[in-house]
Amino acid sequence: MTADSSSQELKSLKLLTAIVLRSFRFAVELLAVLVMRPEYETLKGTTTLGIKSRDGVVLAADKRATAGQYIAGKTVQKIAKINERCALTVAGSVAEAFQLVDRLKAEASLYELSHGRIPKIHTLANFTALMINTKKFISMPVQLLLAGYDDSPRLYMIDFFGSLSEEEYISTGSGSRIALGSLIGKRVTELSLAETEEAAVAALRSAIEWDTATGEGIDLATISKSGMAFRTVTLHRS
């Protein structure tokens, strides 16, 4: 046996060991998802919505968090400001989602310091998708809507596999089908920002009315060329 063949065999053994260890780690993480997680309840977000209009983009989200059949929170902020031109909604596991939000804020600030300008919305969307894609659904059981305004309004949906798609309007969470159903027949992309806000509130009201995991109130973020504005719509019980 020559020195070259011995070196090649050693490299192959190291590669095989690395593959086995990586497979073992994946199996342990998957076991944690399938077996361990049902032993406790995870706080989850519920219904979020994004609508792109001709002048900007509107994000809306309810304020309820659930843990199984239990209402775990009634004042949850599911819309996070990333910078002056970009915001993100979260649906899914709250802890993992806001951990990702903190990372995205830090990366956006670092980009601005390094390049002397804020990052494009599609740059932030791609980076967010990459962060989730490296973990798949094992560590990031979330659905996100990322929206902002640079040269024009932008709205992206990122699922828990890290898949990224640009949308005209989209909803995530347990009440998403109800929220989207209320927008059928409306030419949302032709609406003004004020009309878009009204459409978003109406869609979330429908989800709150018919989805038990959605409720308490509605947060709105409106992003346009002039900046970003937040407001909360309080629901009155009939």
Candidates 16, 72, 24, 12; CA nearest to 44 is 72
Candidates 94, 96, 63, 55; CA nearest to 188 is 55
Q: Is 46 a catalytic residue?
A: yes
SS3 233: strand
Q: Say if residue 45 is exposed, middle or buried (CB neighbours under 10 Å; 0-12, 13-18, 19+).
A: buried
The single residue of 42, 46, 134, 196 carrying the catalytic annotation is 46
Candidates 99, 93, 232, 234; CA nearest to 172 is 93
The backbone torsions φ and ψ at residue 75, rounded to the nearest 5 degrees and listed phi first, read: -135, 35
Amino acid occupying residue 33? V
Q: What gap in Å lies between CA 23 and CA 91, rounded to an integer?
A: 29
Beta carbons of 103 and 132 less than 8 angstroms apart: no
Q: What gap in Å lies between CA 131 and CA 129, rounded to an integer?
A: 5
Catalytic machinery residues: 46
